[in-house]
């Protein structure tokens, strides 16, 4: 349903985690992503939150949070990385669409992180994924506890959140005044759980 009210970041986060709980319990409520939903959202959108995550086919935000058409402004790219075009899209969502929550969601068993960690030769444009992932891996290798790849995913997610939060002038200003929150999360492919980092 098209919302008339603008949710705060905390209200949006609560709705997302309630939906994730339904997803984990296989008690989903948004089973119809067509029909009436198409008609309701044809003219406008007012998403609850922005989700930046990996392009991995096992990480579908609408399902993970048990939401429907028009509920999330989703940005996906291998590794969940951020570039100028992604920042521009986030700026659009928080200014024109009035989304107050930006969630960056890393995940377990990330293929991009696994490839960089294993030293695989990555050619073409795939190689552009290496620098930010490699920086996260360097930090993760010094962590005493936890899985290397999961730790690297969490570190990468924190780094991306920092990059988004400090993006001037638009996002930085909204974060500084408390209008927008940018939060790091981690999705476990085995359990379906999303946790705050």
The confidence score (pLDDT) of residue 87 equals 97
The confidence score (pLDDT) of residue 1 equals 47
Judged against a pLDDT cut of 50, whether residue 51 lies above it is answered with yes
d(CA 141, CA 145) in angstroms, rounded, equals 10
The confidence score (pLDDT) of residue 172 equals 97
Domain boundaries of the chain, sorted by first residue: 9-196
Q: Which comes out higher in pLDDT, residue 2 or 186?
A: 186
- Its pTM stands at 0.91
Judged against a pLDDT cut of 50, whether residue 160 lies above it is answered with yes
The confidence score (pLDDT) of residue 31 equals 65
pLDDT digits (tens, 9 = 90+) for 9-34: 999 999 999 999 999 999 988 766 66
Q: What is the mean pLDDT of residues 68-92?
A: 94
Q: What is the mean pLDDT of residues 161-165?
A: 98
Tokens 């293929």 locate to: 111
Highest mean pLDDT among 44-53, 61-70, 104-113: 104-113
pLDDT digits (tens, 9 = 90+) for 108-145: 999 999 999 999 888 999 999 999 999 999 999 999 99
The confidence score (pLDDT) of residue 44 equals 67
Judged against a pLDDT cut of 60, whether residue 62 lies above it is answered with yes
* Cβ within 8 Å of residue 186, ≥6 positions away: 105, 106, 107, 108, 150, 153, 154, 157, 194, 195, 197
Class of domain 9-196: alpha beta
Transcribe 111-162 into DSSP letters. HHHHHHHTT----GGGGGGHHHHHHHHHHHTT-SSS-HHHHHHHHHHHHHHH
Among 67-71, 100-104, 129-133, 157-161, the minimum mean pLDDT is found in 67-71
């Amino acid at each position: 349903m098209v919302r008339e009210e603008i949710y705060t970041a905390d209200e949006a986060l609560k709705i997302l985690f309630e939906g994730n709980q339904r997803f984990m319990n296989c008690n989903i409520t948004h089973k119809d992503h067509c029909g009436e939903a198409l008609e309701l959202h044809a003219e406008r959108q007012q998403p609850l939150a922005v989700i930046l995550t990996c392009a991995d086919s096992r990480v579908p935000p609408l399902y993970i949070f048990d939401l429907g058409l028009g509920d999330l402004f989703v940005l996906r790219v291998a590794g969940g990385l951020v570039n100028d075009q992604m920042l521009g899209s986030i700026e659009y969502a928080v200014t024109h669409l009035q989304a107050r929550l930006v969630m960056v969601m890393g995940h377990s068993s990330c293929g991009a992180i696994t490839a960089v960690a294993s030293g695989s030769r990555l050619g073409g444009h795939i190689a552009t994924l290496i620098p930010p992932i490699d920086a996260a891996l360097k930090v993760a290798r010094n962590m005493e506890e936890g899985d290397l790849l999961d730790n690297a995913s969490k570190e990468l997610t924190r780094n991306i959140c920092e990059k988004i939060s400090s993006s001037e002038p638009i996002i930085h200003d909204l974060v500084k005044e408390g209008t927008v929150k940018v939060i790091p999360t981690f999705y476990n492919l085995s359990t379906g759980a999303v946790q705050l980092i």
